[in-house]
Amino acid sequence: MDNQEINHQSDSAAERPLEDNDTEPTPATILIVDDNIAEAVACRDILRHAGYNVLLTTEGGQGLQVLQSDPHGIDLIILDWILPDMSGDQWLEWFLEIAPDVKVLFISGKFLPDALREELRTKICGFLKKPFTGPDLLYTVEQGLQGDES
């Protein structure tokens, strides 16, 4: 798929429709946008193992297409700060134009400048510096989905 991958867990019990007597909530759907396929796949696997529905793309443009196709179907976007086709803050503006209430978690191998971090604080739900651990990822995702700022 040309180093791009959109994955759905269609065979997962997590995506079965809930019966009237089921009490489990539908798992959150997370879109990962990261050009480093190895890191993106590792994140996807960790999140799937935790029960989340995960979509993955290696390009911001494809991430936009996924979001445009179902703007209310994505609960959280994990967005790499540095992408080859545009910077993460530029993609953030596009994503928020399509789905202003979507939660965005930035990931990056570089620290964000303090001034920029303050400006983005109202637009993002968290930031993880690469490399990060699986527990760090899960904790930050859970906090972001709950609406807590990190």
22 or 82: whose pLDDT is higher?
Answer: 82
25 or 102: whose pLDDT is higher?
Answer: 102
Identify the weakest region by mean pLDDT among 6-10, 68-72, 82-86, 101-105: 6-10
Name the CATH superfamily housing domain 25-146. Answer: Response regulator (3.40.50.2300)
Give the bridge partners for 77, in sequence order: 31, 104
What span, in angstroms and rounded, lies between the C-alpha atoms of 26 and 14? Answer: 7
Residue 91 to residues 60, 81, 83, 86, Cα–Cα distance (Å)? 7, 9, 9, 7
pLDDT confidence of residue 9: 40
pLDDT of 150 > 50? The answer is no
The predicted model gives 89-111 an average pLDDT of: 87
Query: Secondary structure of 101-118 in the HEC alphabet?
Result: CCEEEEEECCCCCHHHHH
Q: Could you report the per-residue pLDDT of 49-72, keeping only the tens digit for each?
A: 999 999 999 998 999 999 999 989
Ordered strands of the 53-57 beta sheet: 53-57, 29-33, 76-80, 103-108, 126-129
Q: Domain spans of the chain?
A: 25-146
pLDDT confidence of residue 87: 81
What span, in angstroms and rounded, lies between the C-alpha atoms of 104 and 89? Answer: 11
* Residue 132 near residue 107 (C-beta atoms within 8 A): yes
Mean pLDDT of the chain: 82
150 or 105: whose pLDDT is higher?
Answer: 105
pLDDT of 18 > 70? The answer is no
* pTM reported for the whole predicted model: 0.79
pLDDT confidence of residue 72: 92
